[in-house]
Amino acid sequence: MGIAIKIDSLHFKYRSASKDSLANINSEIKEGNFVVIFGHGGAGKTTLCFSMNGLIPRFLHGEMKGNVFVKNKKTTDYRINEMAKTVGLVFQDFEAQLFCSNVELEVAFGLENLCLNIEEMEERIKKYIDFVGLLEKRKAQTSSLSGGQKQRLAIGAVLAMEPDVVVMDEPTTDLDPIGKNHILSISQMLRNKKRTLVMVDTDYEVAMDADYVWLMKDGEVVIKDSPRQVLTNLDLLKSCGVMVPQTLEFFKKMGWEEMPLNSKETIMHIKENHPEIIVPHRTLKINRKPVGSEKGIIETKDLYFRYPSSPDDILKNLNLKIYEGEIVAILGQNGSGKTTLAKHFNRLLRPTSGEVLIKGRKTTDYKQHELARIVGYVFQNPDHQIFSSTVWDEVAFGLKMLGEDEKNIKKNTEEAIFVTGLTGYENKSPFLLTKGERQRVAFASILSIKPEVIVLDEPTTGLDYAHQISAMNMLKELNNKGRTIVIITHSMWIAEQFATRVIIMKDGIIIADGPTRDIFFDEDVLKEASLVPSQIVRVSNWLKTQSLSVDELVEELKGESFSVSR
């Protein structure tokens, strides 16, 4: 088998950066191999992807040393559009890489650039739209697709050009579990076709099928090995800021030797070697009382919503009460109405019919600035709000707008900056910060207003594991101080570990609403909304234990055996 990609002592430094984004990378990828790249945010994963099709250094300028060869073509000798025949690159931001009006034209775009004739195009369009499972959407407008469909289209459009090497930069981050599985099955099919596939991801479930896993840290590849070798090296994973497979951590903490990588393997090992923890009469106790106080803070009554220009209801007859002190996670597929619902809480959207009550009063009876003090809404993309020249001004902006006095502005701003871990950044320009830091600035700017309810839309996308944990711990801390938290998320483990209550939406209605444990036990309802619990909760469900995280499960099982032996 030949060599598909050869990277030869590659260094790269962005023009404005102070240190190398890629440092001394030497690697070879054989034809037909599937390589998954892991690493913390800012480890250089995306930069490495960009170097494989010549975007670096041709488009993104900087200092490059060393060489990258793809199929014996030196990337610096060819223009990017010429490299496109050899390397297909799927970007992380799937909105920006879809620029045609409908599905078939999106796929045709690359083929037109290859100067294929109509018959060849027709054949490939059909083949690849079918390959990514969008055949019935062939004439659909790109904007009407769901997130998962858009991502699949982006992949299909690249595959149709039949490049020898396909590089995907985090193709599954914004997707629900079913959407993720779809992408994974595509990668499996590519493998069967002996295409070389390089994929950056943050989810270890993706890596299980790979031939090799590379782990990156601070611009270097620290280990290249088989998935099992890399994923079972827990200390190394932790030091690189990557999430550790839950089931592995579970076995390690139980003091067991086996190394199961997913729930299936775990259950198999438990059956074979640790049957003592299987207790047939164990029953799941559910605390049905709301976790928060009895006092409702947000209430919707017969809420319907549709955009004026569209005939379809996006929210259909929602009746919902959120209590003070809860952490509510709203889950559901893209387009299920989660964001639309949340935007009603501070009247960014007004009900088409029905009403939304905040502290018993209709949102439409409030003045906007009064609502801003009660319900804070943190948007998904921090770039939609950042405009000030310093972090301090950005965080203080809301307070100034609300007409607070100098003393209060200073006090609240300082506090918000401290809580979000931005101390020392006060005079820096927010535009020069990393995505994770910008997200924290955006969050601090809402926090400084001290709203009683904080609504967060996808607070953890684009963050690596370590940052996700710290962001969620911060929210938990605020919740302990009495704030009500509502998060919209795709991440199952975040909902499992942090939410006290889970609401599942599908096509504009709530299909399940209850205590977190209860909801994640009912895998059928989850499946209806294309959701799957995380590996450890699947194990916990099988055992019928109360736990929703590795630590809880270990504690629960050890506690049980303690009481039994006593």
Partner 1 sequence: MNLSLYQDKDTWIHRLDPRTKITGIILIFAMCLCFNDPIYIAILTLGVLFILFFARSLKSLWTLRYILILLFLFSMIIWPFFVKGKTVWLCIKGFYIHKESILYAIAMGLRLSTFVMAGMILISTTKNEDITNGLIMMGLPYPIAFAISTALRLVPTFAGAGATIVQAQISRGLDLESKNIFKRFSKFIPFAVPIFIIAIRYTNLLSMALESRGFSPASPRTMYRRPYMKKNDWIVLISLLIVFVIILYIRIFLQAGIVIKDRL
Residues 85-114 within binding reach of partner 1 (CB under 8 A) = 85, 88-89, 91, 93, 96-97, 99-102, 104-105, 108-114
Site for partner 1 in 371-390 (CB under 8 A): 372-373, 376-379, 381, 383-387
CB neighbour class for 285 (10 Å; exposed up to 12, middle 13-18, buried from 19): exposed
Contact status: 480 vs partner 1 (CB under 8 A): no
Of residues 24, 26, 143, 434, which one binds partner 1 by CB under 8 A? 143
Minimum distance, C-beta of residue 390 to partner 1, in the bound complex (Å): 13
Nearer to partner 1, 1 or 96 (CB): 96
Contact status: 509 vs partner 1 (CB under 8 A): no
Nearer to partner 1, 157 or 230 (CB): 157
Say what angle helices 465-480 and 435-447 make with each other, to 10 degrees. Answer: 10
| Count of Cβ atoms closer than 10 Å to residue 546 Cβ | 16
CA 227 – CA 516 distance, rounded (Å):
32
Nearer to partner 1, 242 or 356 (CB): 356
Contact by Cβ (8 Å): 201, 231:
no
**φ and ψ at 377, to 5 degrees?**
-120, 115
Of residues 103, 145, 153, 157, which one binds partner 1 by CB under 8 A? 157
CA 320 – CA 1 distance, rounded (Å):
59
Nearer to partner 1, 41 or 177 (CB): 41
3-class state of residue 34 by DSSP: strand
Structure tokens that stand for 312 in this block = 């379809």
Contact status: 81 vs partner 1 (CB under 8 A): yes
Piece in contact with partner 1 (CB under 8 A), picked from 81-89, 218-226, 416-424, 505-513: 81-89
Minimum distance, C-beta of residue 117 to partner 1, in the bound complex (Å): 6
Nearer to partner 1, 240 or 342 (CB): 342
DSSP state of 72: T
Helix (H) or strand (E) holding 214: strand 212-217
Contact by Cβ (8 Å): 482, 324:
yes
Contact by Cβ (8 Å): 553, 539:
yes
Contact by Cβ (8 Å): 501, 515:
yes
Contact by Cβ (8 Å): 473, 440:
no
DSSP state of 81: H
Minimum distance, C-beta of residue 97 to partner 1, in the bound complex (Å): 4
Nearer to partner 1, 313 or 383 (CB): 383
The site for partner 1, by CB under 8 A, has a size of 71
Nearer to partner 1, 412 or 534 (CB): 412
Nearer to partner 1, 136 or 209 (CB): 136
Site for partner 1 in 28-57 (CB under 8 A): 53, 55
Minimum distance, C-beta of residue 75 to partner 1, in the bound complex (Å): 12
Say what angle helices 550-565 and 535-543 make with each other, to 10 degrees. Answer: 30
Nearer to partner 1, 150 or 217 (CB): 150
Distances in Å between the Cα of 332 and the Cα atoms of 153, 504, 506, 560 are 21, 6, 6, 34
Minimum distance, C-beta of residue 47 to partner 1, in the bound complex (Å): 13
Of residues 158, 243, 486, 554, which one binds partner 1 by CB under 8 A? 158
Contact status: 446 vs partner 1 (CB under 8 A): yes
Contact by Cβ (8 Å): 533, 520:
yes
Of residues 348, 466, 469, 511, which one binds partner 1 by CB under 8 A? 348
Beta strands in 257-312, from DSSP E residues, in sequence order: 296-305
Contact status: 166 vs partner 1 (CB under 8 A): no
Piece in contact with partner 1 (CB under 8 A), picked from 316-324, 409-417, 442-450, 468-476: 442-450
